[in-house]
Structure 1
C-alpha cells in the first residue's frame, strides 16, 4: 500500500504556523532537569500543516528536559492512499512505528491510532491490523467527538455529528477495545464531557484517557464567558472523575480554541505566567482525579502556538511545585507509563 505524505484532499484543518522567531524572544533555564518525564501526547505531521516531524521533536527533546519516552496520538498522517478504506489509517501506525525504530524507541514509544468505531464489531479486524503494524507499540484508538453548534469552532479535519459517544454502533465497536487490551483517547469539548461519562460507565473495563483537560473553549460564543465555562466544565469533570477507568491529560490549554490569545502578545509568556494562568484548570483536575489518574502532556506541536517545549514543561513543573516527590513522579511519569503500558525504566 502507498502512504499519504502531503495532501490537502482529506479535509484537514490547516493549523496556523507557530512563529519560531517570536518564541525565541523568551528563553529560560530548565527547571529540575533531572526529573524523568513521559510525554503522553504529541503529533507528527508534514505539509499542508506546519511541518513537525522526527527531527523537529528531537530538537525539542534536546532542550534540556529529561523526556524518556513519548506517546504519538493520531492526527491523520501517513494514511494509506489506496486499498480498503477501513484499513487506510493503519498507514499512520506504520509511519509512527518507523519513527520509533529510528529513535531507539524514545519517540513514539507508544502509538495511539484511529479507526471509526462506528464500524461496529467489524472494527476488530482493523484493530488487529494496527496491532500488527505497531510491532508491540500500538496502545489504542482515539476517535475525536468534538462538536459545537457554532460551525466556526472546529479543531479536527473530520466534521463530526452531535452525540457521537452516545451512538450505539460506535459503542458496538468500542466493545472490541478492552478484549484486545486497547485503550481509548477522547478529544471532546467541555460541554460534551457528560457523554463521555455515560460511555465510561457503560464500559468500566475500558481504559479511557480524556485529552486536554476536557476541551476548554474561549472563542466564538464562549468568548468573554470564562466564569460560566469554568463552572460548567468543573461540574462535568468532577462527575467524570467518579469513573475509575478514566484518566485526564493536563495540557492543551495553549490551543487557539481555549481563547487565551497567548500568541497575540508582543512577547511569549514565561513559564510562571503560564502556570498562573492555567493553575485553576489543573487544580480542579488533580483534586478530582488524583495524581494517579492525571498526567502532564505537551500536545505539541499544537500548543507550540503559545510557547516553546522548554517553557511548557517548566510551566508544568511550576504547577506541580507544591506536590510531594511521589505526586510529581505520578504526574510526570508513572501515570502515563501505566495508562499506556510503556516498557521504559
Structure 2
C-alpha cells in the first residue's frame, strides 16, 4: 500500500517541553490514559511503525510544544529532517490571537518545509454555550495574515463549532482550511452523527476546505471498523474523493491500534472505490494539497 501520511507527530518530552506530556495533573486524552505517550517518538520509531506500507511522504503536525516558543518546534523538526529525511513537510503552531502572532507567522513561513499552521481555537466542552475562539476579533486579525504568507490553516475543533468555522471560510476564501480528525465525530450514536454531518456539510460547501480522515479512535482506546466505516464514507460523500486524505495521528492513535491496522481499516472502508480514487485518497490529494515532492 502506497501512503502519504497527512497527520503524525514527532516529539521528545525528555528533551523539550510539551505541557500535555510534561506537566503533572493534566487531564487524560480523549482516548483515556495517555501516559504511554510520555516518551520520545522520532523518525526511527515512525519508520518501525510504518514498515508495512510504502511510505511516500509524511506531514508532521505541531505537537502542542511549549507555547512560549512555537518556532523552536520547527527548528527541532528541521534537525529531524536533516538526519532522517522525515517529515516531508510540517504544520507549525501559532496563537493567532496573541500580539506576537504576526512575527511568529513570518518566522514559520521562512522554513521552506512549513505549509500551514494549527491552533485549536477556544471551544466549549459540549454543544451550546457562548461562541468559540473563531469569533474573536484578535483571532480573526491573525487569521487574515495567513494568505499573504502562503500558509493554510489546520482546523481542529469540536463539530459544534464548525458553523463558526464555515463563516470564517466564507469570509476568507483565499485561505485553504484542512479539517483535522474528520471534524471530530465524538458521539457515534445516530443522533450525534446526524448533528456532526450537518455541521460538517456547512464546511464542505466551501471548495477551498479539505479534510483529513484521522484520529477517529474512540474513548477507551479502540479503532473499530464497524464504527468507523460510516464516518469515513460520510466524510467522502460530503467532500468528494478529491478533497479527502488519510492520516495516522501517530503516535497518539497508537493508544487505539497499530499503524498497519489503521491503514488497513481505511483501505477496507474504500475497497469498493476505483484504483484511481484510492490513489487520490491515500497519495495524490496529499501530494497536491501539501505540495510534497515524492
- Same topology, TM > 0.5: yes
Measure, in 1, the Cα distance between the counterparts of 2:293 and 2:119: 25
Q: For 2:174, which of 205, 214, 219 is the aligned residue? A: 205
In the alignment, which residue of structure 2 is the partner of 1:229? Answer: 192
C-alpha separation in 1, matches of 2:98 and 2:256: 37
1:283 aligns with 2:252: no
Superposition map of 1:1-345 within 5 A:
35-47=1-13, 48=22, 49-51=37-39, 52-62=41-51, 64-77=52-65, 79=66, 85=68, 88-104=69-85, 107-119=86-98, 123-132=101-110, 134=111, 136-145=112-121, 147-149=123-125, 162-218=131-187, 226-254=189-217, 258-259=218-219, 261-263=220-222, 274-344=224-294
Mapped to 1, the partners of 2:122 and 2:133 lie a distance apart of 9
Conserved? CA contact 1:38–1:70, under 8 Å: yes
Partner of 2:28: none
* Contact 2:109–2:151 (Cα < 8 Å) also in 1: no
* Total equivalences in the alignment: 268
Look up the match of 2:32.
Answer: none
SS in 2 for 1:230: helix
TM-superposed deviation, 1:147: 2.3
Moved over 3 A (4+): none
Cα shift readout 1:134-163 (whole Å, capped 9, x = no counterpart)? 3x101111011262346xxxxxxxxxx951
After superposition, the Cα gap between the structure-2 partners of 1:96 and 1:278, relative to the gap in structure 1 and judged at 3 Å, is same
What is the TM-score with the length of structure 2 in the denominator?
0.86
Once the two structures are TM-superposed, the CA of residue 173 in structure 1 deviates from its matched residue by: 0.8
Distance 1:206 1:338 in 2: 15
Paired with 2:79 and 2:229, the residues of 1 have a C-alpha distance of 37
Cα displacement (A) at 1:262: 4.3
- Residues 73 and 113 of structure 1 are in contact (CA less than 8 Å); yes or no, is this contact kept in structure 2? yes
1:325, distance to aligned residue in structure 2 (A):
1.1
Structure 2 spans left out of the alignment, 5+ residues: 14-21, 23-36
Describe the shift of the 1:46–1:325 C-alpha distance in structure 2 as closer, same or farther (beyond 3 A): same
Distance in 2 (CA, whole Å) between partners of 1:324 and 1:185 is 28
C-alpha spacing 1:128/1:66, structure 2 compared with 1 (3 Å): same
Give unmatched runs, 5+ long, in structure 1.
1-34, 151-160, 219-224, 264-268
Conservation of the 8 A alpha-carbon contact between 1:207 and 1:339: no
Secondary structure of the equivalent of 2:98?
Answer: helix
**Structure 2 CA distance for aligned equivalents of residues 162 and 142 of structure 1:** 19
TM normalised by structure 1 equals: 0.73
**Per-residue deviation, 1:184:** 0.4
CA contact (8 A) 1:114 1:142 kept: yes
Contact 1:184 1:207 survives alignment (8 Å) = yes
**Which has the greater radius of gyration?**
1
Conserved? CA contact 2:177–2:208, under 8 Å? yes
Cα distance in 2, alignment partners of residues 302 and 227 from structure 1: 26
User: CA–CA distance in 2 between the matches of 1:234 and 1:73?
Assistant: 25
- Return the offset for 1:291: 1.0
Counterpart contact for 1:248–1:294, Cα < 8 Å? yes
